[in-house]
Structure 1
Amino acid sequence: MTDTTARVHALNLYRQYFDLVAAGTKTIEVRVKYPHLEDLAAGDIIRFRVKGTDETCDVRVLRVTEYETFEALLDGEGPANVNPDATREEQLTNIRSIYGPQKEALGALAVEITL
C-alpha cells in the first residue's frame, strides 16, 4: 500500500499515552476489536488526537495482531513496547480500567506503529 492509498483512522488517546507515541517510545497500541477497527491493516495511518484538543500525531500501522485477552497481548508483545513507563501489572490494571470485561471479550488488538 502506498502513501496515496493509505486509509486514515482517527482515534483518541489519553495524554500520557499520546506523549509516549509522539516520542516514539510506545510502539504497540492496545485496542479492543470494535467493528470499526476490523479493517485496520498494515500501511494504514492512525491520526491520534488528545481528546478535547487539536493536538494530533500521525503514525503508520506496521502490523495488527489479535489476542483473546489483554494478558495474552502483553505477554505476546512485551509490556515495554506497550508502555515503557509501567510494569506489566500496572498496564493490565490501566487497560482494564479503560476497557471493561465485556469489551475485552470482543478481543484485544495489538497495533504495531511507527512515526
Structure 2
Amino acid sequence: MSNTTPRVRELSLYRRYFDLVAAGTKTIEVRVAHPHLTDLAAGDVIRFRIKGTDETCEVEVRRVTEYAGFEALLDGEGPSHVNPAAARDAQLAGIRPIYPPEKEALGPLAIEIRLLD
C-alpha cells in the first residue's frame, strides 16, 4: 500500500467551464503542454479556481493524452466530453482565442478528470 499524497495543482478556469466541471459533466479539460503541466499524471489532483474568487472544485486526473492539434483532440475525445453544452465548431471557435497557433504548437493536452467529493 502506498502512502504517497497526490500532487495538487491549482489552475484557473473560466466560469462557463468551471460550472460544467463542478456539475461533473465536463470530463476532459483542454490545456497545452506548458512546462508546468508536462509532468501532470494520473492520480494528480487539480484544484480549479475561478480567477479572483474563492470558488474552487477539485478533480482527480485519470489520464493525460497529447494531440497534434485541437481538431484531433476533439475528434479523439468527443466534443461532448470537452464541453457538453457546445457543438464541436463552437468549441474550436472558443479554444482559438485562448490558445492561438503558437500555443497550440506546444501540444494540446486532453486531461481526463473525475470530480472529487
Aligned counterpart, 1:73: 73
| Separation (CA, whole Å) in 1 of partners of 2:2 and 2:96 | 35
User: What residue identity is the alignment partner of 1:26?
Assistant: K
Q: Does 1:113 align with 2:113?
A: yes
Q: Does 1:60 align with 2:60?
A: yes
Asked if the contact 1:32/1:108 (under 8 Å) is kept, the reply is: yes
The offset of 1:97, in angstroms, is: 1.2
For structure 1, the residue ranges without an aligned partner over 5 or more in a row are: none
Aligned counterpart, 1:14: 14
Aligned identity (percent) is: 73
Aligned counterpart, 1:50: 50
Asked if the contact 1:2/1:43 (under 8 Å) is kept, the reply is: no
Instruction: Give TM-score scaled by structure 2 length.
Output: 0.95
Q: Which runs of 4+ in 1 moved over 4 A?
A: 1-4
How many equivalent residue pairs? Answer: 115
Asked if the contact 1:20/1:83 (under 8 Å) is kept, the reply is: yes
| Separation (CA, whole Å) in 2 of partners of 1:31 and 1:104 | 9
| Separation (CA, whole Å) in 2 of partners of 1:94 and 1:52 | 21
Instruction: Give TM-score scaled by structure 1 length.
Output: 0.96
**RMSD value, Cα:** 1.3
The offset of 1:107, in angstroms, is: 0.3
| Separation (CA, whole Å) in 2 of partners of 1:70 and 1:86 | 15
